[in-house]
């Protein structure tokens, strides 16, 4: 709790400086923009709780974000939250980094701090997270690995024309832990993407550079024992969006694989603000404690009651080799999201 308050104080103290910087970048006559915003989510029904696969964010979750310019090209972004953030982000710091863009004309930036992991996509369109990105895999006797959202590290982004590249080195501790493990491992991550109009595609690579208790006996272990490769695709045309991601995660000679495909269609023609969402999700896990194949089909509706207030109703049908506390059978999940 004290740590959260310290983080929050630091974020807002940093944010106190930029008024002059913002004033210089605004058009004359433009109202000063806000620099922070937040949201509150409620999830009711199944898929809540810490156990299981492809969770929602718990009963309640809140998030407060701050984004502002500090000087020419330099900005800060911070995000803290309570509850889970569509998955394994726990209470505390979610992201906090400095972003430096070298020139306005060129898309070249450097980030330092608790930065997002540039591996594929992060959020799904549904209330629950994709299975492959929600699973915590065991590595060796005492360590765990998860495709987390953010960690402490340094990243580089460059875009030119339709091509974009992201490279990063990150600590394997999650951002919420707000620490850097000297004895722990690090991940070297890269994503190479193509984007044109409503289409985007990317290839992501992750190589673990583990610390003292790396799994032994494999060629991969000498480098770190964890290696992930993934592709992500997104195609949008008008009110229809289709996308997905597939990845293979090798841990100490054990291969895990998973994919998901999802689609969203805005059906405002029927009811204003109504959106239909579907997803098919698959995880083949051999390196973790679960061991098995899991599949989930999801169909949901999201209705914007107002611009800042959404309600969502989702139906999930699970199929798996094993029935787990929060996986198996059918579930209805209700979501309420309010932004401020």
Partner 1 sequence: MNIGSHKAQWLLAALLIQVALAVPMSASAPVESLKLSELPERFETRIPALLEEQLADVERAAAALPGMDRKRAYLITLPLQNYIEDVVLSANRPAALHPRAMAWVIGTEAARGTREREISRLLVTYYQKDLFKTFDVNRSNVAATEASKGGDR
Give contact residues for partner 1 (rule: CB under 8 A): 26-27, 29-31, 33-39, 42, 44-46, 59, 65-67, 77, 116, 118, 121-125, 197-198, 200, 234, 236-239, 241, 243, 264, 266, 268-269, 272-273, 275, 302, 304-309, 311, 334, 336, 338-340
Distance CA 247, CA 162 (A): 23
State which residue, 5 or 271, has the beta carbon closest to partner 1: 271
Contact criterion met (CB below 8 Å) for 228 and 147 = yes
Q: Which is nearer to partner 1, 52 or 118 (CB)?
A: 118
C-beta of 140: minimal distance to partner 1 in Å? 29
Measured from the CB of residue 192, what is the shortest distance to partner 1 in angstroms? 14
Taking the least distance from each CB to partner 1, the nearer of 128 and 143 is 128
CB closer to partner 1, 285 vs 318: 318
What is the token pair recorded at 181? 């493990």
CB of 40 to partner 1, least distance (A): 9
Angle at 105 between CA 101 and CA 109, to 5 degrees: 20
Going by the DSSP 8-state scheme, the letter that residue 17 receives in this structure is T
Please state, in angstroms and rounded to a whole number, the distance separating the CA atoms of residues 115 and 108: 16
Distance CA 311, CA 85 (A): 17
* Least CB distance to partner 1 at residue 206 (A): 15
Nearer to partner 1, 114 or 250 (CB): 114
Residue 5 neighbours by CB under 8 Å, 6+ apart: none
| Complex with partner 1: residue 122 or 282, whichever CB lies closer | 122
CB of 234 to partner 1, least distance (A): 6
The CB-of-202 to partner 1 minimum distance in angstroms stands at 9
- Residue 26: strand pairing partners: none
Name the token pair of 253: 């000679």
Which residue's entry shows tokens 């000063």? 32
Nearest to 109 by CA among 120, 97, 121: 97
Helix (H, G, I), strand (E, B) or coil at 236: strand
Which residue's CB is nearer to partner 1, number 143 or number 200?
A: 200
Q: In terms of CB distance, is 223 or 274 closer to partner 1?
A: 274
Instruction: Tell me how far apart the alpha carbons of residues 124 and 333 are, in angstroms, rounded to a whole number.
Output: 15
- Smallest gap from Cβ 17 to partner 1, in A, equals 19
Provide, rounded to whole angstroms, the least separation between the CB of residue 99 and partner 1.
10
The number of residues in the chain equals 340
Q: Which pairs count as long-range contacts for 192-196, CB under 8 Å and 24+ apart, including other chains?
A: 192/163, 192/164, 192/165, 192/166, 193/163, 193/164, 193/165, 193/166, 194/162, 194/163, 194/164, 195/162, 195/163, 195/164, 196/162
First to last CA, the chain: 23
Minimal distance, residue 110 CB to partner 1, in Å = 15
Taking the least distance from each CB to partner 1, the nearer of 38 and 211 is 38
């Amino acid at each position: 709790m004290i740590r959260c308050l310290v983080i929050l104080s630091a974020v807002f103290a940093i944010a106190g400086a930029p008024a002059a910087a913002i004033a210089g970048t605004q058009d004359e006559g433009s109202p000063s923009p806000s620099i922070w915003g937040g949201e509150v989510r409620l999830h009711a029904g199944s898929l809540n709780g810490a156990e299981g696969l492809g969770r929602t964010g718990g009963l309640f979750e809140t998030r407060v974000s701050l984004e502002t310019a500090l000087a020419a090209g330099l900005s800060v972004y911070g995000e803290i939250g309570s509850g889970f953030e569509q998955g394994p982000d726990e209470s505390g710091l979610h992201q906090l980094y400095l972003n430096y863009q070298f020139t306005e004309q060129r898309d070249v930036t450097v980030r330092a701090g608790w930065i997002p992991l540039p591996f594929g996509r992060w959020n799904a369109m549904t209330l629950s997270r994709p299975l492959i990105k929600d699973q915590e895999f065991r590595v060796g006797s005492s360590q765990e690995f998860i495709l987390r959202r953010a960690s402490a590290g340094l990243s580089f982004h460059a875009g030119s024309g339709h091509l974009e590249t992201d490279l990063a080195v990150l600590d394997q501790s999650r951002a919420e832990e707000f620490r850097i493990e000297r004895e722990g491992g690090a991940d070297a991550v890269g994503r190479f993407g193509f984007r044109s109009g409503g289409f985007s595609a990317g290839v992501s690579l992750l190589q673990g550079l583990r610390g003292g208790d790396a799994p032994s006996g494999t060629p991969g272990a000498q480098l770190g024992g964890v290696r992930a490769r993934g592709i992500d695709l997104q195609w949008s045309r008008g009110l229809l969006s289709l996308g997905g991601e597939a990845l293979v995660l090798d841990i100490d000679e054990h291969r895990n694989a998973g994919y998901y495909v999802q689609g969203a269609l805005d059906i405002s023609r029927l009811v204003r603000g109504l959106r239909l969402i579907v997803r098919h999700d698959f995880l083949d896990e051999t390196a973790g404690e679960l061991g098995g194949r899991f599949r989930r089909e999801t169909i949901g509706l999201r209705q914007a009651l107002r611009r800042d207030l959404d309600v969502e109703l989702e139906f999930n049908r699970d199929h798996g080799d094993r029935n787990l506390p929060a996986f198996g059978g059918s579930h209805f999940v209700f979501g309420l999201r309010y932004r401020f």
